[in-house]
Structure 1
Amino acid sequence: MEGVDAGYLYMETPTMHMHTLKIAVLEPAEAFDLTRLQAEMVARLAELPPLQRRALPAPFHLNHPLWVTDRAVDPQHHVFAHDVPAPGGMAGLEVLIGRVAGTPLDRTRPLWEMHVCQPYGDNRIAVITKMHHALADGVAANALLGNIVDGLGGDPRPARDRPHRDLQLEPTPTWSAQLRMALVDAIRQIGDLPSLVSLTVRAVTAVVRHRRASTVTVPRPLLDVPRTPFNGALTARRNFATATLPIGLIKEVQRAHGVTMNDVVLAVVGGALRRYLASRGELPARSLVAGVPVATDVAGAGPRLGGNRVSNIFTTLATDLDDPEERLRAISRTTGESKLIHQTLGASMLVDWVQFAPPAPLTGVMRLYSRSRAASHHPAPFNVVVSNVRGPGEPVSISGAQLRDLFSVGPILEGIGLNVTAWSYVDRMNFSFLGCPDLVQDLAPLVAELPRALEELRTTKGAA
């Protein structure tokens, strides 16, 4: 296992769950049958490599765990059915998603679950797929989705009617083989360390020179981060809420102001947070800071079905600015500068260093950190995670069921108790909010501010 993937396992604690959620709203052509769905998932596992594997810790935790495909997947331990609680619809589904999000995955099995929720309403069902972040990031999850939609590769047949490859199981490596692989890989990593240190020194020096010459200031983690109600120690509980905005309106703002789609998404989230906090008398004088995951895949490398190629940049949400247009401009300038710094430092720098993360010490430190609730006693690294992932641009179906909507959200972290993930589908941008109800009891008032924040941007003088 690569260090960047294993790091998500080491970070996990009883209160910090490192799984991601993908929520698909489907309109099936026939009645739902749990047993058939369980069988279909097993039949498709050859096309979904990360879902076959389980994590096998290395002997004495000398190195990162191994991914092994040594056991048949029992669908009864992975595919479940639920009734959507009252009042039903999206409101009831959001409650159920919060419950699913607040339960950790079983580390002894492949790290995924599928929860089928009905009745969702209008003959639709909702499917919550829970995957550990160690399996895949947003880019890989998109590629996995592409492997199960109907019509793949020009074959018009539903996915369940196309021929499937048999899952190839491998024998579990012996303890001595595991030990040998862990040691050989550790020695190889040590050999890479001198060149990585040299590369890092040169990159950091270049970043320092760049920042001295730049007129745009990028917020510093911890040092420039104000305290908000959702920045504190987590409990195991989770709450969830959604909002949908038309992509056409987001693109309208993008074109009018000459910024990127991601800039507009950040400005909408920043505007919503400003309005929400101000209405409660909790808006800090300094701007909120967002951590923004960025993909580091090499251009033209082709679809990636697993693992993580992701780093982070830090940017302002300009919540200290009252004027929406000024806020958008400030976000665009800062985000652009943060990307330049990230490129100067090297897109793979974080990934390369995480390869050296020590499994046992890091796991112990993270558990002690969570247990002591230390995140409540110091500034957060940043205030909120804001992700933006491009989903399917055309309607798709899965096993003959029409995919009517798609939502996604990543984990929240100790001290950073709010994650906002925007995932596009066809003509709409679906925003998912994941929080901790012991920090923010009700996400609905915050989510309700998103359309107002977008409308503020549309009516500024820069808009067409």
Structure 2
Amino acid sequence: MSERLRPRDLAFLSEETPESPMHNATIEIFEPGESGFDHEQLLSLIQDRISFVPRYRQRLQTVPGRLANPVWVDDDQFDLGYHVRRSALPRPGSMDQLRELVSRIVSRPLDRSRPLWEIYFVEGLEEGRVALLSKTHQALVDGVDTVDLGQVLLDATPTPKSMESDDWHAQRAPSPLGLVAGAVRDSLTEPETLVDTLRSQTGSALRNAGAAAERTRRVVNALSGRSPVKDSPISGALSQQRRVVTIDTPLADYRKIRTVHGGTVNDVILATVAGGLRAWLMTRAESLKGIRQIRAVVPVSVIDSELEATSLGSQIAAHFVDLPVGEPSPLVRLHQVSYSFQAHQATGRGVAANRLAGIAGFAPTTFHAIGSRVAAAERRGYQLNVTNVPGPQSPLYAAGARMVSSYPVPPLLPGHPLAIGVTSYDGRVFYGLTADRVQLPDADLLGVCLQEALDELLEASSGSRVRAPRGRKRVTKKP
């Protein structure tokens, strides 16, 4: 029997517009090594392992009359070559050129008539490297029944794990009459099906009403000559174009700051984000008098039986933190961020970063996908989404090629023209910024400001003695 789409997943589809494509993306860069790594090897690798994520060969089928939520059915026209695409940069391709290519690709929504994912194999990078750009719809990866494809493609050693490819044949999709009969049967025998259908239809009506009200407000503003009111410098209507910014920093820098001041690497990363935002706002001549803080949602891993379990061995919850962009001192910003997480840590629900990164077969892509889902559910309570994932600190490989970089590319939600993803992996910390190309044309400058904010924290931590925040052990740096 086909599995029915859940209301939360249906909402990602219903809320999707050309301005707000609801997919997560990841840029992974590989060194091919002596054995090489080409498009054919990637196709073979995915063919061998796609059976571990069967949803990647399924498409959505609507029920006539919308008597129930759509169902996942096997795609009888499934074409792996359609989903695994080949691209190239003019050699030697630079990171700037790769980012520009990625920006164009992630701006486009996925084809709803096919399985909701794509992977681009990008050749021509300098030093003989290649890049994989993956796009996966938020309705596809829930971290419960389906993990991200990237989770099963990577190995811990250069020698790929031996896996038997399945002899897959698509099951026949139900007829329209069969879909209607299944909807009626499920509504009568499974009360939750009827509840989910009503919830989805009610939610759709509310979303349509909200969208109509927003369009009316824009028309009234235009006729009256009034400019739209912006709640903050990082809010506003989205365009159909994106800009992607990447930053590569050493994990050792964050650990050094943490050793001197206490707290966690996550605290240092968020303090870096706060400092980068502050410097960037100042370059835009934005007055900081009314922008003392920027409220961010930071999805965190917790142990909580009341939340939906994930394949990561824990649950993911939203944690809100006010980033102190109005504070001039980098150390005070760090301590304020640390305080905001003390209450979370004191509950005993938090999952340590090293435990999460140590999960067998763990890949950051799945956690980023779940974090984006959490942020989407809380979209009206914050201005910025920051998803920070502690990845493995040893190399990972795809078909024998070593992965040297992993940059998350989080989706933008309506009214939120900036999102930040962070992945720590193999001694590095990789930032991926997704920005609306029209609202934030200077997103590249924000990337520079983030790097400078980290340097500022390092410089402020170079003294022989510092004051630790209350409740934390004071550390004296050895000469």
Question: Which stretch has the larger CA shift, 70-79 or 241-250?
Answer: 70-79
Give 1:421's aligned residue.
Answer: 421
Q: Distance in 1 between matches of 2:348 and 2:14?
A: 25
Give 1:90's aligned residue.
Answer: 95
Q: Which among 286, 290, 300 is matched to residue 296 of structure 2?
A: 290
Give 2:279's aligned residue.
Answer: 275
1:96-121 Cα offsets, whole Å, 9 max, x none, are 11011100001111110011112011
Q: Distance in 2 between matches of 1:258 and 1:412?
A: 33
Would you say the 8 A contact 1:231–1:415 is kept in 2?
A: yes
Give 1:124's aligned residue.
Answer: 129
Q: Does 1:135 align with 2:140?
A: yes
Give 2:470's aligned residue.
Answer: none
Give 1:166's aligned residue.
Answer: 167
The 3-state SS of whatever aligns with 2:153 is coil
Structure 2 letter corresponding to 1:120: L
Q: Does 1:304 align with 2:311?
A: yes
Q: CA deviation at 1:296?
A: 5.4
Q: Does 1:332 align with 2:333?
A: no
Q: Does 1:254 align with 2:258?
A: yes
1:380-391 equivalences under 5 Å are 381-391=381-391
Q: CA deviation at 1:395?
A: 0.4
Would you say the 8 A contact 1:137–1:310 is kept in 2?
A: no
Q: CA deviation at 1:336?
A: 3.9
Superposition TM-score, scaled by structure 2 size: 0.73
Q: Distance in 2 between matches of 1:138 and 1:431?
A: 22
Q: CA deviation at 1:329?
A: 1.8
Q: Distance in 1 between matches of 2:420 and 2:382?
A: 13
Q: Summarize the Cα distance change of 1:35–1:149 in structure 2 as closer, same or farther, 3 Å threshold.
A: closer
Would you say the 8 A contact 1:144–1:305 is kept in 2?
A: no
The 3-state SS of whatever aligns with 1:172 is coil
The 3-state SS of whatever aligns with 1:95 is helix
Give 2:214's aligned residue.
Answer: none
Q: Summarize the Cα distance change of 1:397–1:87 in structure 2 as closer, same or farther, 3 Å threshold.
A: closer
Would you say the 8 A contact 1:251–1:261 is kept in 2?
A: yes
Q: Distance in 2 between matches of 1:243 and 1:386?
A: 15
Q: Distance in 2 between matches of 1:62 and 1:317?
A: 45
Would you say the 8 A contact 2:247–2:430 is kept in 1?
A: yes
Q: Which among 59, 62, 73 is matched to residue 68 of structure 1?
A: 73
Give 1:407's aligned residue.
Answer: 407
Q: Which among 10, 26, 31 is matched to residue 27 of structure 1?
A: 31
Q: Distance in 1 between matches of 2:12 and 2:316?
A: 12
Cα-Cα RMSD: 3.6
Structure 2 letter corresponding to 1:108: S
Structure 2 letter corresponding to 1:304: S
Q: Distance in 1 between matches of 2:132 and 2:324?
A: 36
The 3-state SS of whatever aligns with 1:289 is strand
Q: Does 1:240 align with 2:223?
A: no
Q: Distance in 1 between matches of 2:181 and 2:405?
A: 46
Superposition TM-score, scaled by structure 1 size: 0.75
1:238-270 Cα offsets, whole Å, 9 max, x none, are 000111111111122223222122222111101
Identity %: 30
Structure 1 letter corresponding to 2:167: D
Q: CA deviation at 1:143?
A: 6.7
Q: Summarize the Cα distance change of 1:181–1:291 in structure 2 as closer, same or farther, 3 Å threshold.
A: farther
Q: Distance in 2 between matches of 1:40 and 1:232?
A: 41
Give 2:199's aligned residue.
Answer: none
Question: Which stretch has the larger CA shift, 255-264 or 94-103?
Answer: 255-264
Structure 2 letter corresponding to 1:410: P
Q: Summarize the Cα distance change of 1:147–1:31 in structure 2 as closer, same or farther, 3 Å threshold.
A: closer
Q: Distance in 1 between matches of 2:148 and 2:258?
A: 27
1:197-238 Cα offsets, whole Å, 9 max, x none, are xxxxxxxxxxxxxxxxxxxxxxxxxxxx98333310001100
Would you say the 8 A contact 2:91–2:125 is kept in 1?
A: no
Structure 1 letter corresponding to 2:416: I
The 3-state SS of whatever aligns with 1:93 is helix
Q: Does 1:230 align with 2:237?
A: no
Structure 1 letter corresponding to 2:311: R
Give 1:322's aligned residue.
Answer: 328
Q: Summarize the Cα distance change of 1:65–1:295 in structure 2 as closer, same or farther, 3 Å threshold.
A: farther
Structure 2 letter corresponding to 1:439: Q
The 3-state SS of whatever aligns with 2:122 is strand
The 3-state SS of whatever aligns with 1:80 is strand
Q: CA deviation at 1:189?
A: 6.1
Q: CA deviation at 1:12?
A: 1.1
Q: CA deviation at 1:179?
A: 1.7
Q: Does 1:55 align with 2:64?
A: no
Q: Does 1:437 align with 2:437?
A: yes
Q: Which among 100, 105, 130 is matched to residue 100 of structure 1?
A: 105
Give 1:199's aligned residue.
Answer: none
Q: Which among 176, 191, 201 is matched to residue 187 of structure 1?
A: 191
Q: Distance in 2 between matches of 1:327 and 1:83?
A: 42
Would you say the 8 A contact 1:23–1:128 is kept in 2?
A: yes
Q: CA deviation at 1:410?
A: 1.5
Q: Summarize the Cα distance change of 1:135–1:341 in structure 2 as closer, same or farther, 3 Å threshold.
A: farther
1:150-188 Cα offsets, whole Å, 9 max, x none, are 358xxx7425x6422333633323223442365258732
Give 1:112's aligned residue.
Answer: 117
Q: CA deviation at 1:69?
A: 2.6
Q: Distance in 1 between matches of 2:80 and 2:303?
A: 32
Q: Distance in 1 between matches of 2:347 and 2:235?
A: 26
1:267-324 Cα offsets, whole Å, 9 max, x none, are 110110001101221143331111222345769x997289x96442321011111111
Q: Which among 21, 34, 58 is matched to residue 17 of structure 1?
A: 21
Q: Summarize the Cα distance change of 1:341–1:392 in structure 2 as closer, same or farther, 3 Å threshold.
A: closer
In structure 2, runs of 5+ residues without a counterpart are 197-228, 350-369, 468-474
The 3-state SS of whatever aligns with 1:239 is strand
1:150-161 equivalences under 5 Å are 150=155, 157-159=159-161
Structure 1 letter corresponding to 2:117: W
In structure 1, runs of 5+ residues without a counterpart are 193-224, 344-350, 355-361, 363-374
Question: Which stretch has the larger CA shift, 265-274 or 277-286?
Answer: 277-286
Q: Which among 41, 50, 66 is matched to residue 45 of structure 1?
A: 50
Would you say the 8 A contact 2:92–2:127 is kept in 1?
A: no
The 3-state SS of whatever aligns with 1:42 is helix
Q: CA deviation at 1:87?
A: 7.8
Question: Which stretch has the larger CA shift, 448-457 or 118-127?
Answer: 448-457
